[in-house]
Amino acid sequence: MIDQGLRTFSGKRVLLLQGPVGPFFARLADDLRAVGAQVHKVNFNAGDWFFYRRAAMNYRGKMEAWPAWFEAQLRRLDIDVVFLFGDCRPVHQAAHRVATALGVEVGVFEEGYVRPDYITLERSGVNGYSRLPRVAQAYSAPAANEQEALPVGNSYWNMVRSGFWYFTIGWLGTPFFPDYVHHRPLTGTEALPWIRSVWRKQWYRRVEKGAQQQLTREFDGRYFLVPLQVFNDAQIRVHAPFAGVEDFIETTVRSFAARAPDDTLLVFKHHPMDRGYRDYSRLIRKLAHELQLGRRLQYIHDQHLPTLLDHARGVVVVNSTVGLSALFHAAPTKVCGRALYDMPGLTYQGSLDDFWSEAPRHKPDPALYRRFRSHLVAATQLNGSFYRRLPGLESATGVVWDAQSPQREPHHAVPVWRLQQIQTLTVIKTREHAQPAPAWAAPLAQALEEAERTIPVFYEQERMDVRA
C-alpha cells in the first residue's frame, strides 16, 4: 500500500478513525502532513480524544446512525483514504462497508504479523481479510530488496501505560460519549484484570516450576502444543467456526482424546495478555476427568514459547500469528480458522482428527516459508512499533516507512498530541452540528492536566507540534 513510503499520500485527503491505544495516530497525522496530505480525525470516546485533540471530530451520535454520518463526512471532505486500526471492530466494519461502496481506499493497521520489530499495514483488510495469495505458486521467489529490521526493543510497559490512560479517560469521559459502544469493556474495572495478572504470574511461576523442563526433556517430540488466543480476540469471533476460546478448547480436547496416539500429550498454553481475564483450569480439569486423559492433558502459562515450539510434535492454532512462529521453528501446524499463512506446503491441510497421527510427516517446507515470509514483510510489514519510537528516525511515528527513511539525532520534546488549552475541544453531536464542550467538563479537564504532567516520562523522544 505504501510502495513509495508516505509520499504515496502526498496531496491526498486522509481520514483517521480509531488507532491503537496511545499517540500513534497523532504522530501519524504529523508524518502525513509533512508529505503534503490533508488529515482529518474522528474520535469515538474520551480515550480517543485524550490522545488526539487537534481539530478532531468527536462523534457522539447513536451507533446505528454512525454509517450515515460517516458517509456524509466522506462526501463533505472528499476523502481519498481512510486509516483504521483493526478491521473487526463494529465501528470499523460499518465504516469499511461505506468507504468501499464509495470507492474510498481503506488502509488497515494491526499488530505485526512478524514480531516484535514490525507493525502491519494492509490495503482493505488484515488477517483473514488479507488479500495475500494463499497458494504456494505465488511465492516462487523471494521478495526483492528485503531489508534487515531495526530492533524495536521492549515496548510492553509503554503499551500498558497507554492502555491505562486510554481506558481510564475513556471511562471518566463516558458522559461526553453516552451512546458509544466499545468492542471491549470501557469501564474503571479494566484495571482489575491487570492487577490480577501480576499476582497470577507469580503464582504460576511457583506452581509450574519445572514444567517446561519436563516437557522438553521427558516428553520431547511427544506433545502437541496449543497456544490460546485472548478471550475477546475478533479473529476467533470473525475468522473461525468457534463460539469462543472455550469451544475451541473442548473441540480440540475431544478430537485428541478420540484420535491421538496414546503416548502423546496435549498442552494448552494460556495467552499472556489474557492472564488476568480468563482461567480455563476448571474446564480443562473437567474434560481431563470426563475423557480419562489424566496427565496427558496439561495447561501451562508463562513458559518460553520458542523452546516449546522447538520440542513439540505439532502445533494447533485457531489463526494466531503464533502459527508463523511455529512454521519458523519447523513445527507441523494445523490451523482451525482462517489465517493468511494457511496454505499447502506450510500448514497441514487435513482434518484435526487426522493431524494427531499424521503431523510428523507434514513439516513445513523451509524454503517456501522463507519466500513467503519475505513477501509478507515486503507487502504488509513496517519496521517499528505503535508504542515505542525507533530512535534516530526523522518520522514522528518512529516507523521506517521506506528503505530511504532519513536519520536524525534523537532529542527531547513535548508529546505531539498535547493541546495548549483543553477548552479547544469541538464536539460533533449530529451530522453537521458542532458545539463547545459543556461547563461541567471542568473536573475531567483538571484530571487530564494532571495526567499530562506524568505522561512525557515515557514518551521522551517526541517532537513539539508547531503547526497551527
Helices (H) and strands (E) in the chain, counts: 15, 14
In a domain, 291, yes or no: yes
Q: Do 145 and 214 belong to one domain?
A: no
pLDDT of residue 382: 96
Same domain? For 291 and 152 the reply is: no
Same structural domain, 80 and 119: yes
Residue 401 lies in a domain: yes
DSSP state letters, 426-443? EEE-SSS-EEEPPGGGHH
Domain that holds residue 406: 5-180+384-458
Q: Is residue 62 domain-resident? A: yes
Considering the domain boundaries, does residue 50 fall inside one?
A: yes
> Of 369, 393, 413, which closes a domain?
369
Do 145 and 217 lie in a common domain?
no
Structural domain total, the chain: 2
Q: Of 334, 369, 404, which one is at a domain's C-terminal end?
A: 369
Per-residue pLDDT of the chain (468 residues; tens, 9 = 90+): 567 789 999 999 999 999 999 999 999 999 999 999 999 999 999 999 999 998 899 999 999 999 999 999 999 999 999 999 999 999 999 999 999 999 999 999 999 999 999 999 999 999 999 999 999 999 999 988 778 899 999 998 899 899 889 999 999 999 999 999 998 888 878 778 878 998 999 999 999 999 999 999 999 999 999 999 999 998 998 999 999 999 999 999 999 999 999 999 999 999 999 999 999 999 999 999 999 999 999 999 999 999 999 999 999 999 999 999 999 999 999 999 999 999 999 999 999 999 999 999 999 999 999 999 999 999 999 999 999 999 999 899 999 998 655 443 333 333 333 333 333 333 333 333 333 444 444 544 454 444 444 333 222 222 222 222
340 DSSP assignment: T
DSSP characters for 75-97? HHHT-SEEEEE-TTSHHHHHHHH
What is residue 421's predicted lDDT score, i.e. its pLDDT? 30
**Structure confidence at residue 1 (pLDDT):** 59
176 and 296 part of one domain: no
Do 195 and 221 fall into the same domain? yes
The β-bridge partners of 426 are: 436
Whether residues 324 and 388 share a domain: the answer is no
pTM over 0.75: yes
CB atoms within 10 A of CB 97: 14
User: Do 390 and 350 belong together in one domain?
Assistant: no
Give every CB contact of residue 29 below 8 A, 6+ residues apart in sequence: 16, 39, 41, 52, 54
207 and 352 assigned to the same domain: yes
Residues 116 and 261 in one domain: no
Q: What is the CATH number of the domain that holds 273?
A: 3.40.50
In a domain, 467, yes or no: no
Tell whether 114 and 166 lie within a shared domain.
Answer: yes
What DSSP state is assigned to residue 33?
Answer: H
Half-sphere CA count of 464, side-chain side, radius 13 A: 6
For residues 259 and 354, what is the distance between their CA atoms, to the nearest angstrom? 7
User: In terms of domains, do 251 and 227 share one?
Assistant: yes
| DSSP single-letter state for residue 268 | E
